């Protein structure tokens, strides 16, 4: 279905990003993973994609928050794969704390990685998409960006910002055949949620009564990548949490 296409997945070394890279590879896409430090884990995901699905897959080390570094990395991926067709902005971090005591650095770090990171990647890929008159962008937002969440002012602001970015990019690039959508997960079983406390207690806030598996988020991402007539959408995959 995606044979011959190249997908960049930021934060593809573990969790939702790794599941998404494998899902897109299973549909035939070549995979370029970008991570800021966990390069060996990213290379292991690439090796699995190549072995299982016969696609080309490679990992790059870059900080998505860095404009110049992401520019160079997108250029290197284009040189290696011959083009870029799909961009999944999944890299993200948390630095939780109550607003009354949140450090300025904690606010800046989360906005830089989660929101500016997506801007940087879209900014550097959009020229390639426009020239090809094709492109699929999926930004990983969160229910925290829809509902807010105590202790996550920085994170919720970054994820709400991603929704505004998604809708504007969707409107700007639609005439060129490019779609831009967001997926808003609720609780997902990954390293990010492993320190939050008992899953059972937290899952009480989820109508479907459990956390999502990363693969369930990857399914939604792949659906949006394959959809030609959906753009500017925010697809909640949250077990009913934010309805």
Stretch that binds ligand NAP, among 14-22, 48-56, 95-103, 122-130 (CB under 6 A): 14-22
Nearest residue (CB) to ligand NAP, 69 versus 132: 69
Q: How far is the CB of 84 from ligand NAP (least distance, A)?
A: 16
Alpha carbon distance 180, 168 (integer Å): 9
- 11 near ligand NAP, judged by CB under 6 A: yes
| Alpha-helical runs (H) found in 27-151 | 39-53, 67-81, 104-110, 117-132, 144-147
SS3 83: coil
Closest separation between CB of residue 189 and ligand NAP, Å? 7
Count of all residues that appear for the chain in the document: 243
User: What mask, x for binding ligand NAP by CB under 6 A, covers residues 18 to 57?
Assistant: ----------------xxxxx-------------------
95-114 burial, b for 16+ CB within 10 Å, e for fewer? bbeeeeebeeebbebbbbbb
3-class DSSP assignment, residue 162: helix
> Which of 5, 6, 8, 14 is in the footprint of ligand NAP by CB under 6 A?
14
Q: Does 239 bind ligand NAP (CB under 6 A)?
A: no
**Does residue 156 touch ligand NAP according to CB under 6 A?**
no
Segment 56 to 115, residues that bind ligand NAP, using CB under 6 A:
63-65, 90-93, 113
Question: Do residues 165 and 115 touch, judged by C-beta distance below 8 A?
Answer: yes
Question: With respect to ligand NAP, which residue has the nearer C-beta, 92 or 135?
Answer: 92
What are φ and ψ of residue 192, in 5° steps? -60, -35
- Please say which residue, 77 or 113, places its beta carbon nearer to ligand NAP: 113
> To the nearest whole angstrom, how small is the minimum distance from the Cβ of residue 171 to ligand NAP?
23
Given a contact cutoff of 8 angstroms between Cβ atoms, the answer to whether 60 and 46 are in contact is: no
Binders of ligand NAP among residues 169 to 198 (CB under 6 A) are 185, 187-188, 190-193
**155 is a catalytic site residue:** yes
Shortest distance, position 33 Cβ to ligand NAP, whole Å: 8
Q: Beta partners for 185?
A: 237
Q: How far is the CB of 133 from ligand NAP (least distance, A)?
A: 28
> 183 near 19, Cβ under 8 Å?
no
Q: Which residues contact 97 (CB under 8 A, 6 or more apart)?
A: 103, 106, 151, 154
- 199 membership: H or E segment, kind and range: helix 199-202
Structure-block tokens of residue 41? 């884990």
Shortest separation between residue 125's beta carbon and ligand NAP, angstroms: 15
* Catalytic center residues: 155
Give the interface with ligand NAP as residue ranges (CB under 6 A).
10-11, 13-17, 34-38, 63-65, 90-93, 113, 117, 140, 142, 185, 187-188, 190-193
């Amino acid at each position: 279905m995606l044979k011959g296409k190249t997908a960049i997945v930021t934060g593809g070394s573990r969790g939702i990003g790794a599941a998404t890279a494998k899902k897109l590879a299973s549909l035939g896409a070549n995979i370029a993973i970008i991570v800021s430090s966990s390069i060996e884990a990213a290379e292991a995901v690439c090796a699995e994609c190549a072995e299982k699905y016969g696609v080309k897959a490679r990992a790059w080390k870059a900080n998505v928050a860095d404009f110049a570094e992401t520019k160079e990395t997108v250029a290197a991926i284009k040189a290696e794969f011959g083009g870029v067709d799909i961009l999944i902005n999944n890299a993200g971090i948390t630095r939780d704390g109550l607003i009354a005591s949140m450090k300025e650095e904690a606010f800046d770090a989360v906005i830089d990685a989660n929101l500016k990171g997506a801007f940087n990647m879209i900014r550097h890929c959009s020229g390639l998409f426009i020239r090809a008159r094709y492109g699929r962008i999926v930004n990983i937002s969160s229910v925290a960006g829809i509902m807010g969440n105590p202790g996550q002012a920085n994170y919720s602001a970054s994820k709400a910002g991603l929704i505004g970015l998604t809708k504007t990019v969707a409107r700007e690039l639609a005439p060129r055949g490019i779609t831009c959508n967001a997926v808003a997960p609720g609780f997902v079983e990954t390293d990010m949620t492993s320190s939050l406390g008992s899953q059972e207690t937290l899952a009480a806030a989820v109508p479907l009564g459990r956390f999502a598996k990363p693969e369930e988020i990857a399914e939604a991402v792949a659906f949006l990548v394959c959809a030609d007539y959906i753009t500017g959408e925010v697809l909640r995959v949250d077990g009913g949490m934010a309805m």
